[in-house]
Structure 1
Amino acid sequence: MKFATDKDFMQSLQTLTIKGGKFGRAAAQVIGVLRLSQRKTELAEVFAGLVTTNHGESRIQHCTKYDLQGSCRLITVQHDGICLLLFAGDHEGCDEWLETNKGKRFHLKETQDGRIIQSTRVTESVANAASRLQTVSDFSTGALWEKLPLRYFETMTVGLAPELVAELKAISSIVSDEELVPLACQAPTSGQSDLLYDVFDLLRGGFVQEAKARVDRFEGSVVPLENASPAALETAVSGDEVMLVEDVDPVLFEHFVKTASYEKWMMYLHPSQRGFANKDFNGPTKLTGVSGSGKTSVLIHRAIRLARLYPNEKVLVLTLNRALSRMIHDLVSLALGDGTPLNLEVKSFWELCREKLAGIEPHNHLLYTDKTVATNPFAVSEYIDDIWAEYYEQRNNNRDAKVLAPLHRTLLVRSIYPCDYIRQEFDYLRSALAPSEREQYLALEREGRAIPLEERYRRCVIDGLVAWERKMTDVGAVDYLGLTTALYKHLEKLEPSYRCILVDEMQDFGSVELKIVRNLVRPDVNDIFLSGDPAQSVLTKYHRLSDAGIDVVGRSHSILKNYRNSREILNAASELFKRNKDMFASAPGIEILDPEFANFSSSPPLLLTAPSLKDEVLFALGHLHAKHNDSVNHSFKSCIAVCGLAQSELEDLSRQISLDVLNGDTNVVAGKVFLSDLEQTKGFEFDSMIILNCAAAAIPHPHLPAEESYRELCKLYVAMTRAKRELIISYSREASAFLGKVVDLFTIGEWHDYADAREQKTLRIRSGRFSAEPVLQNSELDGEAVLMCPEAVGLSSAAQEKLTQLVAGNNRYRGNKQIGWKTFDSFFESLRKSPALHTTNFVSRAMWDEYVGLHGRLALRSVEPKPATGRRILTLKR
């Protein structure tokens, strides 16, 4: 006799346990049954001491109920060869569950993962109202039949009149039985009538998987459990709905029934993925999967198994994001408690580098701490941003970045903002090559970088990077790629110190980081396990596994089923990729996986507008305040992500509105509402996700190559797919071009029609990609300082050269004629008032027109956008 648990069983047992008292004692009886079922094979032995209820149960075929303490019940379905544990609860809870699951039947289905057990609900006779299924509408939009793959709809409508098929196609989630029953009864046979009713009833409740299973059962492509042979049952494996008790980890289970609910989907929702956790691989292995497919869950289960398999050797779970590292650590601790293997470590790459460097360079221990990093120990902090600005803009008499001037000027001509592009190029170079290898950069094929760079400009990058690293050393700070570089210098000293390393979000690791990973674990069975999603590549890095000595040929796998997002949210996110696929032409090796939708629906995502980013923030806060107050789910979590803000601005905003920023210090398991940029949301999930400032001025970056904007599209996709049931995207003035092709998948409106703004007397925030306060006011800018401003993007070489000659920071005269100016403002005003100076200073008409545009752009840099008026929905560009 095999024993298995249905998808509702664990949750019901946890609920019973938490209620305590007599209910807790009843739960203990059920736990005893589960323990025995893992060791015994006979019904009498497993249910010893329990008696069946006096009354039978007709709502579910082959159902047997057992009496528990405190008037509680254990509901099972028993066939020859298998017993399914379905639900445990008090009398009222059990009755409600049985009514909801009336007509539930199980069958065996052949899949690529093996023979799994599925269920669906079946009406005995559509003509009998008492026997009909009664699901509650999920109020999703669109025609119900479109939720099914076409082959399923064609199977269920074979032989029907075209007029009836047309009427069936018009059915939506608000269809009533008074409308549905007469349509179903027009089918030529009672069996097909029952089928039509059941499928559309299940679809209006959002139960797409059950609806498909109902069609499978009708066409005979599955085997009802009551008809399954003992041999077939013996080969059954765990699936999404039914898990064999032999696959239930007893330690995880004991803690699961006693813990809060946030971590439960991470640890229990994906039994069908257990094969990836339990299989031994003869070398490095790569698991890719769509967002929400349970990749991190697989990785956690696998890490726990390997730590137990190799109890005398260390197993490491490694992430790039410190907040994600902490969350995984907390999940393991909450799930296992005192049962956590002592040899299992969870670290961010930052922490790993610091730990190794502390042993190799103990004299530099102060450099490799995060004390100098103001608020975010991940070093993507306001302090690093400030150091970068000081270095790049050559403030405080530091002229090291002067070596970048030729590259800076050619990028301006190409309409690229050099400050951001060159910083990205530094990261790209550091992720590709160690300092001793950087001469190879001169000939490196820069995959994913759209702007070609001649050798002389690449030399500028190498020299500028050396100066930037020296600058950070001088001020006693380091970013995480700086740590990577520092550790890589000692690569030959890094001996294998781990039996297994499991890397989450592997697509964000560059080749240099992966070389370090390769050195820390010796080649062996189960040595390296890489998990990630190429579609979530958000960092400008050189990523090539072969360059790191990691060979996954023949050991690459994919999982496509999404469990996290509602059908509507995932569809919007997936279509965002598909309809903007032209942006991926230059993306190196990014494969967009086509997801299988989760088995639930929600309202369509919202696309809302407000007069300014400040208003967006206040409306979002008001909405979430009401949402959390109304929620009966105490584990309800939400996040506000903001596009286009520097980390320093995000930190400043967090202090003003009293929200935690997602970083290495964030306790996601304990917290409720968080603030983040787009990329730091990766790896998390939230009941409600609000993305602000999704405006044309903020995303994509207006002055970086359009060919590389796919990374920002990936960031937006990442943030969208964090939402389980509610997604709101918000903008002011003009929406991002990314959204123009998917507006049909959103409900469009204005914030004030959906929420009340939170009252806050002062809130200082500026929208737009370049929103930080300038160090120098316009009236103080000389020619060199002007060229550092984003407003100078697009200026011709001649205009740049003339500007630096004429506006060199001091007033100069030849006789009574001025030939040099201290500031751009005074230069512009002089030439405006005296056109004769154009000829004297060799300023052509075309050049003057460039300066007029530049002056106008600079004049707008500190002006807040004027609030929009009226109730008009702002136009989206397509």
Structure 2
Amino acid sequence: MKFANDKDFMASLRELFAKSGRFARAAQQVLKVIELAERKTKVEEVFQGLVTTNHGESRVQHCTKYDLMGACRLVTVQHDGICLFLFTGSHDDCDEWLERNKGKRFHLKSSQQGRVIESTRVTEDISNPSRRLTTTSDLAPGMLWEKLPARYFQVLCEGLEPDYVDQLKSLTSIVSDDELVDLALLAPDERRDVLYDTFDLLKGGQVQEAKGRVDQYKGTVLPLSDAAASDIIEAVSGDEVVLMGDVDKELFEHFVKTASFEKWMMYLHPGQREFAKKDFNGPTKLTGVSGSGKTSVLIHRAIRLARVYAGEKVLVLTLNRALSKLIKDLVHAALGSDAPENLEIKSFWELCKDKLASVEPQNKLIYSDKTVATNEFAISEHIDDIWAEYYERRNNNADAKVLWPLHKTLLARGIYPADYVRQEFDYLRSALAPSEREQYLSLEREGRAIPLEERYRQSVIAGLAAWEKKMSVVGAVDYLGLTTALYKHIDKLTPEYRSILVDEMQDFGTVELKIIRRLVAPGQNDIFLCGDTAQSVLTKYHKLSDANIDVVGRSHSIVKNYRNSREILLAASQLFDRNRAVFAGATNIEILNPEFANFSSPPPLLLEAESLQGELAHALGHLKSRMEELGAARTKACIAVCGFSQAELEDLASQVGLQVLTGETNVVAGKVFLSDLEQTKGFEFDSMIILNCSTVAIPHPLLPAEESYRELCKLYVAMTRGKTELIVSYSKGPSSFIERVTDCFTEGSWSDYSSAMTLHVTKFRSARFSAEPVLQNETLDADAVLMFPEAAGLSTSAQDKLIQLVPGINRFRGRKQLTWKRFDGCYDALKNSPSLQSINSVSEGVWTELDALHKRISLRQTEPVKPTREILSLKSRPIGK
């Protein structure tokens, strides 16, 4: 006799245990039954001590119910060599479940894994309301027939009159049972039941069951009632029914007894399970669509390998520190003290810090992304602030002057140099170690759209050296700086792990991959890489072959999405499909077509507010109402903000009292989080709200359009974090990415959907969304002006003239002023005296540019930076080879 769990059983057992008292005692009886099912083969041995209920059960075929303590019940299906655990709960809970699943029948269906057990519901008598299906509508938009794959709908319509098919195509989720019955009765006798059942199931969003109902009608599946003992023996676990032998016993019991633990950690679907259990003879790569459970596979695989290699260390490695902490919390929740002691879970940041502590103990305090406060009055600085100080040459630090020629030519291209150069530093450090950087002069910069002549590449190398020196002096380091520091000692690194499993592998650069390769010896199950190239969000050089990691013949993929509703995943998938043009400059990006999950939700919302602050106020008001309505337990939410750096988000979060997704965030315990787009990767939330998805924020208007695919990937990542609710928000016009998929959203105004919370935000601190007046700044000379995003698009001749006229010093020749201390003073003088323009050789074209620049800076207090038509037209100009 085989024993297996149906899809609702585990959650019902957990809920029964969570009720405590007599209900928990009943749950313990069920756990005892499960324990016996692991080692007994006869039904009477497994259910010893339990008696069947007095009344039989006709609502589910082959159903047997058992009495438990406290008037509780255990519902099973038993037939010819198999026993399926369906549901357990109080008498009323079981009765409600049976009514919802009236007509449930199981069958065997062939799949890639083998014959799996699935179910559907079947009407016994269409003319009798008590014996036909009655599915509650999910109120999803669109036509029901479009939810079915075309081949299934063709089977239903074969031989039917075109007018009748048109009536079927007109059905929506609000069709009444009576209307559906009347329409089904117009079909031939043998087609009535299957037509009614299929569309009734589609009405409730039960697409998988609807397909199963058509399969039963076609005869392409084997009903369990017709299956022989040999057929049962061949059965394997599927998405709906999981055989007892495929359940991790320790995880199962912890799940039942820990109501807060995430369900997805418990069961692996068949498409996932093989990768958790299979041994591979060398490095292996598993790619999968968002929501396909890659992280879950990795966790289960890591636990298994840690147990197999009990005397050796196994490492789970992530790039994102917050994700690393989440995995630690989930493993602890799942296994508690039973977690393998040899299993380590770290972010790459933590790994580098640990290794550096052993080889450079004297520099322990340097390796942080914030400076260390030297006394109680000192304020630690974030690495983003240190970058701004370095690049803008503040506090008498001129080290970045070497980048000035590159800065000017990028400005002329309409590009914001501070962001582009920082990305280029990351690209260089991810590709080459410090000792190898001369190779950068001839490196094929895959994925970078702006060609750089050798002189500019030389300045990048010199500028990067100065940036690394700056970080060392102030006592802080950015992420890739930490990697670079460790790589200097790569010859000292030795294989200390039996296996390393890497999550989100597409965001690891070649240098990081080389370090990973050194820490594990080649062999069976040595490296397991998990990820999705369509979620590549960082500017890095990534080549497995350069790191001596060969996955040829060991690359696999999974495409079934289990996380998102059909409506959310459709919007995210269409975001990629309709913006494919931006991938023209991308390399090594593979977009997998996902299979949809088997549940629906309302369509995602696209909402507008008057300002970014209004967006945030309404988002918080919406979540407050949602928590009051659904309860905090069902409202884990994230608010992601486009166009903000981590430091800027932390500043905003401190003003509104929210947690930011960082390496210290307890995601399991928390409820509402603030994040940028990329930090959301690897998480899932009941509600996902994306703010500032505006034309001025994403894609970055002052970076190359040819590289905007990374920002599209970030937006896709954030959208697919939402399980059942997604809201995309904007002000001042929606992003061009979103404009192409508005039909996948319900559009409206925030004010129509929620009340705004009162916020006490003094400022939105952002390089591109600042509301600070700057024209009266005492140090607003030419160099300072040319650091502003507003200066992007200024021609080289206009820049040179600005530098000549505004060096930061007032100089005169007699009564005639030659140079100015501040830009506003120079502008006013030239505007009021056209003759002065002539005297200072300011051409009409240059004056037009300076006048437009002054206007853009003047708007800084009320408007975020946005590109002008002139700036956009400049983006096609080459600046080198």
Quickly name the TM-score band, shorter chain normalised.
over 0.9
Q: CA deviation at 1:865?
A: 7.5
Whether the 8 Å contact between 2:608 and 2:730 is mirrored in structure 1 is yes
SS at match of 1:624: helix
Aligned to 1:542: 541
SS at match of 1:268: coil
Whole-angstrom distance in 2 between the partners of 1:382 and 1:84? 59
Aligned to 1:427: 426
Is 2:822 the counterpart of 1:818?
no
- In structure 2, the CA distance between the partners of 1:762 and 1:473, relative to structure 1 (3 Å rule), is closer
Whether the 8 Å contact between 1:430 and 1:512 is mirrored in structure 2 is yes
- In structure 2, the CA distance between the partners of 1:775 and 1:300, relative to structure 1 (3 Å rule), is farther
Whole-angstrom distance in 2 between the partners of 1:193 and 1:421? 63
RMSD of aligned Cα (Å): 1.6
Aligned to 2:185: 185
Aligned to 1:505: 504
Is 2:156 the counterpart of 1:156?
yes
Whole-angstrom distance in 1 between the partners of 2:103 and 2:631? 29
Aligned to 1:122: 122
Superposition pairs of residues 593-632 of structure 1, within 5 angstroms: 593-632=592-631
Q: CA deviation at 1:647?
A: 2.3
Aligned to 1:356: 355
Aligned to 1:665: 664
Whether the 8 Å contact between 2:514 and 2:547 is mirrored in structure 1 is yes
SS at match of 2:458: helix
Aligned to 1:11: 11
SS at match of 1:206: coil
- In structure 2, the CA distance between the partners of 1:600 and 1:107, relative to structure 1 (3 Å rule), is same
Q: CA deviation at 1:771?
A: 2.5
Whether the 8 Å contact between 1:635 and 1:672 is mirrored in structure 2 is no
SS at match of 2:586: coil
Q: CA deviation at 1:237?
A: 1.3
Q: CA deviation at 1:371?
A: 6.2
Aligned to 1:103: 103
Whole-angstrom distance in 2 between the partners of 1:603 and 1:771? 35
Identity fraction in percent: 69
Aligned to 1:22: 22
Is 2:432 the counterpart of 1:440?
no
Whole-angstrom distance in 1 between the partners of 2:145 and 2:636? 32
Aligned to 1:584: 583
Give the residue type in structure 2 aligned to 1:809: G
Give the residue type in structure 2 aligned to 1:345: E
SS at match of 1:753: helix
Q: Which moved more, 1:658-667 or 1:81-90?
A: 81-90
Whole-angstrom distance in 1 between the partners of 2:200 and 2:382? 57
Whole-angstrom distance in 1 between the partners of 2:818 and 2:675? 50
Whole-angstrom distance in 2 between the partners of 1:662 and 1:205? 35
Q: CA deviation at 1:761?
A: 5.1
Aligned to 1:39: 39
Whole-angstrom distance in 1 between the partners of 2:765 and 2:429? 32
Whole-angstrom distance in 1 between the partners of 2:121 and 2:268? 21
Whole-angstrom distance in 2 between the partners of 1:472 and 1:547? 28
Is 2:96 the counterpart of 1:83?
no
- In structure 2, the CA distance between the partners of 1:175 and 1:825, relative to structure 1 (3 Å rule), is same
Whole-angstrom distance in 2 between the partners of 1:72 and 1:426? 64
Give the residue type in structure 1 aligned to 2:650: E
Is 2:784 the counterpart of 1:785?
yes
Give the residue type in structure 2 aligned to 1:652: D
Superposition pairs of residues 799-818 of structure 1, within 5 angstroms: 799-818=798-817
Whether the 8 Å contact between 2:771 and 2:860 is mirrored in structure 1 is no
Whole-angstrom distance in 1 between the partners of 2:96 and 2:76? 15
- In structure 2, the CA distance between the partners of 1:135 and 1:298, relative to structure 1 (3 Å rule), is same
- In structure 2, the CA distance between the partners of 1:150 and 1:852, relative to structure 1 (3 Å rule), is same
Whether the 8 Å contact between 1:610 and 1:731 is mirrored in structure 2 is yes
Give the residue type in structure 1 aligned to 2:552: V
Whole-angstrom distance in 2 between the partners of 1:781 and 1:505? 43
Whether the 8 Å contact between 1:701 and 1:769 is mirrored in structure 2 is no
Q: Which moved more, 1:704-713 or 1:75-84?
A: 75-84
Whether the 8 Å contact between 1:425 and 1:540 is mirrored in structure 2 is yes
SS at match of 1:419: helix
Q: Which moved more, 1:797-806 or 1:144-153?
A: 797-806
Whole-angstrom distance in 1 between the partners of 2:381 and 2:205? 45
Whole-angstrom distance in 1 between the partners of 2:762 and 2:388? 25
Deviations 1:522-552 (A, max 9, x none): 0111111111111111111111111111111
Give the residue type in structure 2 aligned to 1:183: L
SS at match of 2:703: coil
Whole-angstrom distance in 2 between the partners of 1:726 and 1:659? 20
SS at match of 2:818: strand
Whole-angstrom distance in 1 between the partners of 2:484 and 2:771? 30
Superposition pairs of residues 399-548 of structure 1, within 5 angstroms: 399-548=398-547
Superposition pairs of residues 822-861 of structure 1, within 5 angstroms: 822-861=821-860
Q: CA deviation at 1:859?
A: 1.1
Superposition pairs of residues 375-390 of structure 1, within 5 angstroms: 383-390=382-389
Give the residue type in structure 2 aligned to 1:10: M
Deviations 1:626-675 (A, max 9, x none): 11111146242011111112323211211111110010111000001111
Whole-angstrom distance in 1 between the partners of 2:178 and 2:234? 44
Q: Which moved more, 1:33-42 or 1:243-252?
A: 33-42
Q: Which moved more, 1:570-579 or 1:20-29?
A: 20-29
TM-score normalized with structure 1 length: 0.96
- In structure 2, the CA distance between the partners of 1:371 and 1:426, relative to structure 1 (3 Å rule), is closer
Whether the 8 Å contact between 1:614 and 1:764 is mirrored in structure 2 is no
Whole-angstrom distance in 2 between the partners of 1:766 and 1:530? 37
- In structure 2, the CA distance between the partners of 1:770 and 1:465, relative to structure 1 (3 Å rule), is farther
Q: Which moved more, 1:32-41 or 1:615-624?
A: 32-41
Aligned to 1:553: 552
Is 2:324 the counterpart of 1:304?
no
Aligned to 1:216: 215
Q: CA deviation at 1:765?
A: 2.5
Whether the 8 Å contact between 2:368 and 2:478 is mirrored in structure 1 is no
Give the residue type in structure 2 aligned to 1:53: T
Give the residue type in structure 1 aligned to 2:625: A
SS at match of 2:137: coil
Q: CA deviation at 1:113?
A: 2.1
Whole-angstrom distance in 1 between the partners of 2:161 and 2:536? 49
Gaps of 5+ in 2: 374-379, 866-881
SS at match of 1:687: strand
Aligned to 2:722: 723
SS at match of 2:181: helix
Deviations 1:692-727 (A, max 9, x none): 111111111110000111111111111110101111
Whether the 8 Å contact between 1:278 and 1:305 is mirrored in structure 2 is yes
Whether the 8 Å contact between 2:318 and 2:346 is mirrored in structure 1 is yes
Give the residue type in structure 2 aligned to 1:84: L
- In structure 2, the CA distance between the partners of 1:773 and 1:478, relative to structure 1 (3 Å rule), is farther
Whole-angstrom distance in 1 between the partners of 2:505 and 2:350? 16
- In structure 2, the CA distance between the partners of 1:618 and 1:113, relative to structure 1 (3 Å rule), is same
SS at match of 1:38: helix
- In structure 2, the CA distance between the partners of 1:768 and 1:520, relative to structure 1 (3 Å rule), is closer
SS at match of 2:266: helix
Gaps of 5+ in 1: 375-380, 867-878
Whether the 8 Å contact between 1:314 and 1:344 is mirrored in structure 2 is yes
Whether the 8 Å contact between 2:770 and 2:864 is mirrored in structure 1 is no
Q: CA deviation at 1:763?
A: 4.6
Q: CA deviation at 1:396?
A: 0.8
Q: CA deviation at 1:268?
A: 2.5
- In structure 2, the CA distance between the partners of 1:761 and 1:274, relative to structure 1 (3 Å rule), is closer
Q: CA deviation at 1:784?
A: 1.4
Aligned to 1:278: 277
Aligned to 1:876: none
Q: How many residues align?
A: 859
Aligned to 1:695: 694
SS at match of 2:724: strand
Aligned to 1:757: 756
Aligned to 2:170: 170
